Structure formats: structure tokens, C-alpha cells
Amino acid sequence: MPDKTYVIAKPIEGISLNGYEYLLDSNDDVKVFNSYQDAHDFVSEAITDQDQDEFIRATDDCPDLNFIVS
């Protein structure tokens, strides 16, 4: 796996203090992208009415993922 990976996330109920909910893959695991560009391409296709970049998070910046993503 690359040094830096990315996920698609949004604050739960729109409140960042609540933590994040993450995009899941077909196995209900957090979908991890190997590059920022891969994550951006995915989000650009799925979200057109908001700033797509606000949904992209580096896995390093998501402490609640430490036990989920290895």
C-alpha cells in the first residue's frame, strides 16, 4: 500500500465534532484510495453540487480509522 492513502468522508450530521462517516466498498469496509487523484476522480463523478475536495481526507488525518485501516 502507498505511503499516503485517502478516504471519502463527511461529518456525521454535518457537525465535525461528531466524527466522520466514510464511504464504504462493496464489502462494507472503508473504501481506501491509493492517491489523492483517485479519490478526487471518484468524488468528482459522484458529487456535483458541492466542493468535492472537502470530502477527501488523508487516512493519517482520521484517527478513528487507525483500527480499521492498516
> How much is the pTM?
0.78
Report percent pLDDT > 70 for the chain: 83
Report percent pLDDT > 90 for the chain: 40
54: closest CA among 44, 66, 45? Answer: 44
Instruction: Output the pLDDT for position 54.
Output: 81
CB 62 within 8 A of CB 7: yes
Is the residue at 48 inside a domain? yes
Is the residue at 30 inside a domain? yes
Q: How many domains does the chain have?
A: 1
Q: How far apart are CA 9 and CA 58, in angstroms?
A: 10
16: containing domain: 6-61
Is the residue at 69 inside a domain? no
32: closest CA among 14, 13, 59? Answer: 59
Is the residue at 70 inside a domain? no
Q: How far apart are CA 67 and CA 41, in angstroms?
A: 26
Instruction: Output the pLDDT for position 70.
Output: 47
Is the pLDDT higher at 60 or at 27?
27
Cell of residue 2, nine digits:
502507498
Is the residue at 21 inside a domain? yes
Is the residue at 1 inside a domain? no
Is the residue at 29 inside a domain? yes
Q: What is the mean pLDDT of residues 30-58?
A: 85
pLDDT greater than 70 at residue 1: no
Is the residue at 68 inside a domain? no
Instruction: Tell me how long the chain is.
Output: 70
